[in-house]
Structure 1
């Protein structure tokens, strides 16, 4: 069945029109055919387009009245850690009482994840994906990184591949306790037996290039090994302090550098001159009380910016892209239009996808209908459940 969504008060297409990067249309309609966008235009043209389509096919056209609500592309969450066991609420409470965030808390989740069964991890994973979908996320990237041994890392990427093609092998998340003071030996494991086990289930390889995690030299070794196995690079960098990780990522052609809380002018210049996306993770700064990155500085310099949730139990236990948009607008100096673009088209760029993140003929029909007349309400009404309907590949999921 094909679908005609009509009476759309505001349609965000992400197809630039003049100076409007979001290609905004008012009183609009969208036609979906076989899970793809077949047409998008003015509501007054919808009946004629639908009639012509009906004459050329035997399929029935299902008409959906958007009731004047806003329609945007489905959110593309390009950074998450959804496969894990346990909980770190006590750690969050301690941070809110003044304890400083550090990378080492990951090890407590590793212990809980190793102890969990596949079925336990699978059930929780599917619950998180459902939670995300209800908030408008139609594409999600999922990283491993809470196993840190060969068997568990393989389990995590395999389970993630059951729900998304965007799977990232992050064996180099931190050095596990059993390799304390032997980080180079752990890197040997990551680039050898662990990569062999995980590469068949993954599209991406990532590394946490940070004080308390991996050095630039170790990070480069991990990424180059992944590239040699056909995986594409992504990098966690400059979250806890400035370093050389951003420029290394650009040099290696990484699709994205994520976090970027502490960026030097040289980092910004390198990003602006490259195709590497800087993915901002507003939930992290909200949850850790670190300084918010200045998105205005990045955008004005010409850096391509994405927004993602970084859903994880330690530093950002939110799965809400609308919440992250509101924080980005309020605390990172983004306009609403910039934040919505970053959470849709920006995420698609961070995943090097050209079939999602926009509403245009030929694109996947991943759309979100909001219970509001404009996308501005995503930031204007933070915390309010505004997602009224979600279509993934043309199928309604709510």
Structure 2
């Protein structure tokens, strides 16, 4: 494959580097700037009109805002069917519960590989059109060794950030035998899935897996070379956050219900609190208290949790707007959490920022400032998207 053509984007009114050392404020903002991409990387950043390198293509940003591509560090995209009826019932008063996942398990098991692949690609394209350039993708809707292996294998065709989530819920064939299912997850299922995955995750929640079961799955995954992530604190307080910190998880995700000890544990660790406000929008649960986490010194990321049940949105811009409106984040904090924060949750230093050496993932919006992502919610602001220096939008 030929390397992408070099590109100079100039006349950028506001360049968000997401690198505080590169410019002003927490977002590292540069005004009246230009940036050059070559070989899939950022090779130069400077003042517009200064000595930019010669490039094959020049793009006039016309005073608009350029920011890093969004990093969506929590999504469930290998599935079939939808749960629109469940959503409708929830909007009329039925509470969200973990058991609805089984509906998607049945549809996913019945789907062909090509149907799953086509749906995955459709959702990834939808994300790209909205400025997302890095996506984590979980399994969790197969729940047998063959079905979970199929899910992570298909996901790995499209992203390097693949998570084995066999411990999503206990499937119907193991009703009354959660311990037996955990043995299956940590045995044949893990052996089949580990070669295709980077991460291992557990839904540590009432109605899913308790602390002891979560520990068993995460420790087995770590022994197989996978790094932990944890669904924690979505439906109530529990052991998930502190297990995530103890076991060196890259992230604890949801974090809707946290004790003071949970917040302190996150603030004193490298584990990122990944917040998923589109889920609260869809389930009518309380929103996470991002302000509490940030003020304590915890690292925070935003992600969509795009899935057919608890939150079927692929829009990181929507999550930014919700974080500002409902979670007491400033626009700068929310944009940083959706870019560099997501990268940190994936332990990536090459994405989520625009600085020399980073992957050339960039999102040009039809607005003069990053603030407009929250200021104009629901408006399709994306004007152009580059991934590894290749223009995708």
Q: Scaled by the length of structure 2, what TM-score is found?
A: 0.98
CA deviation map 1:299-348 (0-9, x unaligned): 00000000000000000000000001000100000000000000000000
Separation (CA, whole Å) in 2 of partners of 1:248 and 1:323: 30
* Counterpart for residue 222 of structure 1: 217
State the Cα distance separating 1:14 from its structure 2 match. 1.1
Separation (CA, whole Å) in 1 of partners of 2:127 and 2:340: 17
User: In the alignment, which of 198, 201, 211 is matched to residue 203 of structure 1?
Assistant: 198
CA deviation map 1:210-259 (0-9, x unaligned): 00000100000000000000000000011000011100110000000000
* Counterpart for residue 15 of structure 2: 11
Q: Secondary structure in 1 aligned to 2:49?
A: helix
Alignment of 1:311-322 (within 5 A): 311-322=306-317
Separation (CA, whole Å) in 2 of partners of 1:31 and 1:293: 38
Aligned residues: 388
Tell whether 2:300 aligns with 1:296: no
* Counterpart for residue 57 of structure 1: none
CA deviation map 1:85-123 (0-9, x unaligned): 111000000010010110000000000000000000001
State the Cα distance separating 1:41 from its structure 2 match. 1.5
State the Cα distance separating 1:49 from its structure 2 match. 2.4
Q: Kindly report the root-mean-square deviation, in angstroms, between the aligned alpha carbons of the 2 structures.
A: 0.8
State the Cα distance separating 1:19 from its structure 2 match. 6.7
Structure 2 portions without partners, runs of 5+: none
State the Cα distance separating 1:20 from its structure 2 match. 1.2
User: In the alignment, which of 142, 152, 155 is matched to residue 147 of structure 2?
Assistant: 152
User: In the alignment, which of 91, 96, 101 is matched to residue 96 of structure 1?
Assistant: 91
* Counterpart for residue 52 of structure 2: 49
Alignment of 1:264-283 (within 5 A): 264-283=259-278
CA deviation map 1:134-170 (0-9, x unaligned): 0000000000000011111011000000000000000
* Counterpart for residue 258 of structure 1: 253
User: In the alignment, which of 75, 87, 111 is matched to residue 82 of structure 2?
Assistant: 87
Cα pair 2:15 2:33 within 8 Å, conserved: yes
Structure 1 stretches of 4+ moved >6 Å = none
Separation (CA, whole Å) in 2 of partners of 1:348 and 1:106: 27
State the Cα distance separating 1:44 from its structure 2 match. 2.6
* Counterpart for residue 321 of structure 2: 326
Cα pair 2:152 2:197 within 8 Å, conserved: yes
Separation (CA, whole Å) in 2 of partners of 1:394 and 1:152: 35
Alignment of 1:332-351 (within 5 A): 332-351=327-346
Residues 19 and 4 (structure 1 numbering): CA distance in 2 closer, same or farther, change over 3 Å? closer
CA deviation map 1:270-303 (0-9, x unaligned): 0000000000001000000000011011000000
Q: Scaled by the length of structure 1, what TM-score is found?
A: 0.97
Separation (CA, whole Å) in 2 of partners of 1:209 and 1:238: 8
CA deviation map 1:23-60 (0-9, x unaligned): 10111100111110001111031xx222xxx4xxxxx5
Structure 1 portions without partners, runs of 5+: 55-59
Cα pair 2:24 2:30 within 8 Å, conserved: no
